[in-house]
């Protein structure tokens, strides 16, 4: 082999090795430390809009071996009201949902009113489409309420004409399991349909939108949502 070819091959190998190590470090960081995920569905509207890209804190509750669900250390667990990224027990799809009930809770729902441990959650009606102007046409025909989960307040959307939800309970949340729901109550596949979510399936918590693009309007940035806080 000619000398210049040997030099090129060595340089090429070093470059490929450096690139591979960089990709491994980046992917490990995203798997175990922090990530940002796009939100392609409206199941968490009006809290999270279609086109939001959210920051996911993978260290919110524990430290896992990258690319696995094996925990090396645990310092917390999901709490009622937390918005988490988890894996669906039905098909393994990545989901963004709100924790409504934790292990040991007894939960039931009738007519979109949730009751936890015998206590009915408080619902304050909000003023129609003005409550969620960023939803645009998606807000038409919806009713909005401020839901209070034991001091954790957030907005939920109800679609009276649809009423796709099913009443359930009372049921007790088993140890190591969580009951998840979407804030868009009549347009969310959640624990009402696929059951409880295992603790090991929770990959992180989100509290912030990084950026947001309006998919219905030529991907125009929603500047007001950049770096906004989620509740």
- Residue 4: the pLDDT is 45
CA gap 195, 176 in Å, rounded? 13
As a whole number, mean pLDDT of residues 39-44 equals: 91
Instruction: Output the pLDDT for position 21.
Output: 76
Query: Does 122 lie in the same domain as 25?
Result: no
Mean pLDDT value across residues 77-94: 95
How does strand 52-57 pair with strand 202-214?
Answer: antiparallel
Inside any domain, residue 230: no
Tell me how far CA of residue 108 lies from CA of 57, 147, 169, 180, 191, in angstroms: 30, 15, 4, 13, 12
Segment of 15-19, 33-37, 194-198 carrying the highest mean pLDDT: 194-198
Residue 84 lies in a domain: yes
Instruction: Tell me the mean pLDDT in the region 27-56.
Output: 88
CB atoms within 10 A of CB 78: 22
Which structural domain range is residue 106 located in? 36-225
Name the band, by pLDDT with cuts 50, 70 and 90, for residue 11. confident
Q: Which is more confidently placed, 82 or 137?
A: 82
Within this chain, do residues 46 and 5 fall inside the same structural domain, yes or no?
no
HEC states along the chain?
CCHHHHHHHHHHHHHHHHHHHHHHHHHHHHHHCEEEEECCCCCCCCCCCCCEEEEEECCCCEEECCCCCCEEEECCCCCCCCEEEEECCCCCCEEEEEEEECCCCEEEEECCEEEECCEECEEEECCHHHHCHHHHHHHCCCEEEEEEECCEEEEEEECCCCCCCCCEEEEECCCCEEEEECCECCCCCCHHHHCCEEHHHEEEEEEEEEEEEEHHHCCEECHHHCCCECC
Instruction: Kindly state whether residues 94 and 179 are assigned to the same domain.
Output: yes
Looking at the fold, whether 146 and 49 belong to one and the same domain comes out as yes
Mean pLDDT for 117-121 is 97
Which residues have a catalytic role annotated?
43, 97
Q: Are 2 and 94 contained in the same domain?
A: no
- For the cut 60, the answer to whether the pLDDT of residue 165 exceeds it is no
Q: How many domains does the chain have?
A: 2
User: What CATH number is associated with residue 106?
Assistant: 2.10.109.10
Kindly state whether residues 85 and 135 are assigned to the same domain.
yes
Q: Worst-scoring range by mean pLDDT, 32-46, 75-89, 98-112?
A: 32-46
User: Minimal CA–CA distance to 58: which of 205, 209, 177, 199?
Assistant: 205
Predicted confidence band of residue 8 (pLDDT cuts 50, 70, 90): low
Range of lowest pLDDT (11-25, 152-166, 191-205): 11-25
The answer to whether residues 21 and 88 belong to one domain is: no
pLDDT of res. 169: 86
Average pLDDT of the residues in 150-174: 86
For residue 195, being part of any structural domain is answered with yes
How many Cβ atoms are within 10 Å of 169's Cβ, its own excluded? Answer: 16
Confidence of residue 179 (pLDDT cuts 50, 70, 90): very high
Please give the residue that has the higher pLDDT: either 141 or 61. 61
Same domain, 109 and 11: no
Q: What is the pTM of this model?
A: 0.90
Domain annotation covers residue 74: yes
- State the average pLDDT for the chain: 89
Q: Is residue 90 included in any domain, yes or no? A: yes
Considering the domain architecture, whether residues 50 and 119 belong to the same structural domain is answered as yes
Same domain, 84 and 105: yes
Cα(133)–Cα(8) distance, integer angstroms: 58
140-152 as b/e, with b when 16 or more CB fall inside 10 Å? eebbbbebebeeb
Is position 158 within any domain? Answer: yes
Q: Does residue 93 share a domain with residue 205?
A: yes
Q: Could you read off the pLDDT of 129-145 as tens digits, one per residue?
A: 677 888 888 888 889 99
More confident residue, 28 or 155: 155
Rounded CA separation 135/121 (Å): 25
- Domain annotation covers residue 231: no
* pLDDT, mean of residues 163-189: 89
* 84 and 44 belong to one structural domain: yes
């Amino acid at each position: 082999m000619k000398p210049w070819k040997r030099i090129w091959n060595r340089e090429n190998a070093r470059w490929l090795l450096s690139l591979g190590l960089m990709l491994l470090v980046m992917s490990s960081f995203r798997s175990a430390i922090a990530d940002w995920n796009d939100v392609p569905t409206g199941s968490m509207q009006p809290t999270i809009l279609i086109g939001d890209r959210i920051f996911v804190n993978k260290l919110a509750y524990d430290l896992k071996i990258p690319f696995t669900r094996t925990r090396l250390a645990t310092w917390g667990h999901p709490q009622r009201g937390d918005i988490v990224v988890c894996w669906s027990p039905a098909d393994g799809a990545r989901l963004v949902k709100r924790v409504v009930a934790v292990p040991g809770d007894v939960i039931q729902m009738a007519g979109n009113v949730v009751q936890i441990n015998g206590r009915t959650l408080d619902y304050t009606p909000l003023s129609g489409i003005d409550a969620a102007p960023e939803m645009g046409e998606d807000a038409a025909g919806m009713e909005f309420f401020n839901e209070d989960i034991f001091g954790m307040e957030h907005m939920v959307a109800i679609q009276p004409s649809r009423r796709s939800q099913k009443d359930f309970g009372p049921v007790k949340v088993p140890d190591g399991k969580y009951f998840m729901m979407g804030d868009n109550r009549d347009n969310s596949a959640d624990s009402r349909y696929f059951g409880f979510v295992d603790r090991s399936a929770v990959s992180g918590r989100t509290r912030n939108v990084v950026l947001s693009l309006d998919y219905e309007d030529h991907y125009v940035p929603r500047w007001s949502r950049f770096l906004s806080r989620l509740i």
